Structures are given as structure tokens and as C-alpha cells.
Amino acid sequence: MPTSVNRDALSGSVALVTGAASGIGRAIAMTFARSGASVALVDIDSGAGTEVQNAILSAGGKALFCQADVANRRDCVQAVSKTVATFGGLNILVNSAGIIRRATVLETTEEEWDKGMAVNVKSIYLLSSEAIPIMEQSGGGVILNIGSGWGLVGGTRAALYCASKGAVIQLTRAMALDHGQQNIRVNCICPGDTDTPMLESEASQLGLPGGSLQEDARERPLGRIGIPEDVAQAALFLAGDAASYITGTTLVVDGGGLAG
Ligand SMILES: NC(=O)c1ccc[n+]([C@@H]2O[C@H](COP(=O)([O-])OP(=O)(O)OC[C@H]3O[C@@H](n4cnc5c(N)ncnc54)[C@H](O)[C@@H]3O)[C@@H](O)[C@H]2O)c1
């Protein structure tokens, strides 16, 4: 289990993390703040987002909550401009906000399809379009997209989700090619099952008892479900100087689930 944090690893950096009110985004935001970054917390959920902001501030870190729907261009423009106005720049963008619908194509409505693709994929385009020119001005930056193991292999009753996460991986590669010359590194983390509210939502959508997906994860090589901090440690590595020659890659963080 991850234990330590280098308190200077992101010192002086400004990070914007979407989905920062819960789960993986929350863990990334808190880890980045503990590592010295000023963190803009972007989420549609203002109650939980404000709690994360207060937790970081009480621990002596720097944080600002911005309520935004990441599928909405105006909200994304405002979130980036508020971040720059408050912290003086933007060096790291983490796209973690996401939603899941556990359904086949036959069970997925057109509205669900459009919303899932907008939250999981279009949001990366919207926020990156705002962030890249700012990163370019300051000599570079880092974009981390949270994909999924289901962007690499298929899963049952997850048609929209698999399509959206496959798109996240390809968008990551395309952006890495386009923006390497500006010293902007673009990478993707693909978590396996991770113990967050999203996993509980999946169990309930599938009519499974709570805790059953956590139990299934015991069959992974490392014998346990992932926790948000597992993904946050991978994000910290990819965001920092230790990963300065890594771009366009996909890092699987799944306890060995896809290894076999
Ligand atoms: N939990 C897992 O098992 C797992 C596995 C693989 C990949 N992922 C991916 O990790 C990312 C984070 O998932 P999580 O498990 O932390 O989920 P979560 O449900 O705990 O957190 C998702 C956050 O995104 C926010 N969000 C949703 N729609 C939004 C919108 N339109 N605008 C702004 N914010 C919005 C939610 O309010 C929530 O705070 C997602 O992209 C997810 O697909 C999760």
C-alpha cells in the first residue's frame, strides 16, 4: 500500500484536478497538495468539493474549489481562468471526472450516450484547449487523463464506458504527438477496479450486493481491490520531473488484473 509522499515533488506547481470531490480525483488532489502543489479542485458537486478544499487548507496546503460541469465549455473556461487568476498559472491538468453506465448498447439511451461521451471524453478536449496555451507560455506542462482498464480490453454491459475510455487513450496519444514540441507531456493512467463511490454505483446498476466487486478483486495477482491512493501515487510520478521523458503512454494500475 502507498505510504509516503515527497513534500517537495510538486513544489511551486499549479494543478487543476477534475472530479476532485470524490474517489480517485480527490486522492490525486490531496496527494498533489501534500507534495507542494497549489490545487484547483473542479467538480460538479459543490458540497463534497468544498469539503476537500477545507481539508487541504486545514492541513496547510493551497486549494481552491471551482464548481463546474466539465462537459460545458463555459464552465471549463471559467475554471481555468479562475485557477490562473488565483494561483498565477497552470502547470498540471488532471482529467479524472467521469461517469459509468453499466449497460449494453441496447440498454443505453441516446441521451446517456451523449452525456457519457461528453463527461468522459469531450471534457478533456475542452479543458486541454484552455490549458495548453497557458502551459506553452510558461515553457511546458503535464496533462494526465484517467482512462480505465476497459479502454484496453472490453467489459460486459459497459459499451458506452468502454468506447469512451478507448477514446481517452487515443486522445492521449494524439495530444502527446501534437504538443511534445512545446514540452507538454500527455499521459494516461488506466486504473482497474478501485474502491470509490463509482464502484458502488456499478454494483447497484448491476443489481449486485454492495461490496461484491471489492470481493471479486481478491482474484487479482496482488489479491486486493485498488484504493484511490494507488492511482494518486502513479499520478504523482507522471506529473513530476521523475517522468520527464515519458509522454504518450498508458500506465495500468490494477494489481496485475490485465497481466494474464
Ligand atoms: N473506480 C474505479 O474502479 C475506476 C476504474 C477505472 C477507471 N476509473 C476512472 O477514474 C475516474 C474517477 O472515478 P472515481 O472512481 O473516482 O469516481 P467517483 O464517482 O468517486 O468520482 C467521480 C467524480 O467526478 C465528478 N463528476 C461527474 N460528472 C461530472 C461533471 N459533468 N462535471 C464535473 N465533475 C463531474 C463527480 O461529482 C465525482 O466527484 C473516472 O474517470 C473513472 O472512469 C475508475
Indicate if 161 belongs to the active site.
yes
Give the pLDDT confidence of 208-243 residue by residue, as tens digits. 999 999 999 999 999 999 999 999 999 999 999 999
Give the pLDDT confidence of 140-193 residue by residue, as tens digits. 999 999 999 999 999 999 999 999 999 999 999 999 999 999 999 999 999 999
Distance 255 CA to ligand 1 centre (A): 19
Is any atom of ligand 1 closer than 6 Å to the C-beta of 49? no
pTM, entire model: 0.98
**HEC profile for the chain?**
CCCCCCCCCCCCCEEEEECCCCHHHHHHHHHHHHCCCEEEEEECCHHHHHHHHHHHHHCCCEEEEEECCCCCHHHHHHHHHHHHHHHCCCCEEEECCCCCCCCCHHHCCHHHHHHHHHHHHHHHHHHHHHHHHHHHHCCCEEEEEECCHHHCCCCCCCHHHHHHHHHHHHHHHHHHHHHHHHCEEEEEEEECCECCHHHHHHHHHCCCCCCHHHHHHHHCCCCCCECHHHHHHHHHHHHCHHHCCCCCCEEEECCCCCCC
Is any atom of ligand 1 closer than 6 Å to the C-beta of 44? yes
Q: What is the mean pLDDT of the chain?
A: 97
The structural domains of the chain, ordered by start, are 14-252 (3.40.50.720)
Is any atom of ligand 1 closer than 6 Å to the C-beta of 166? no
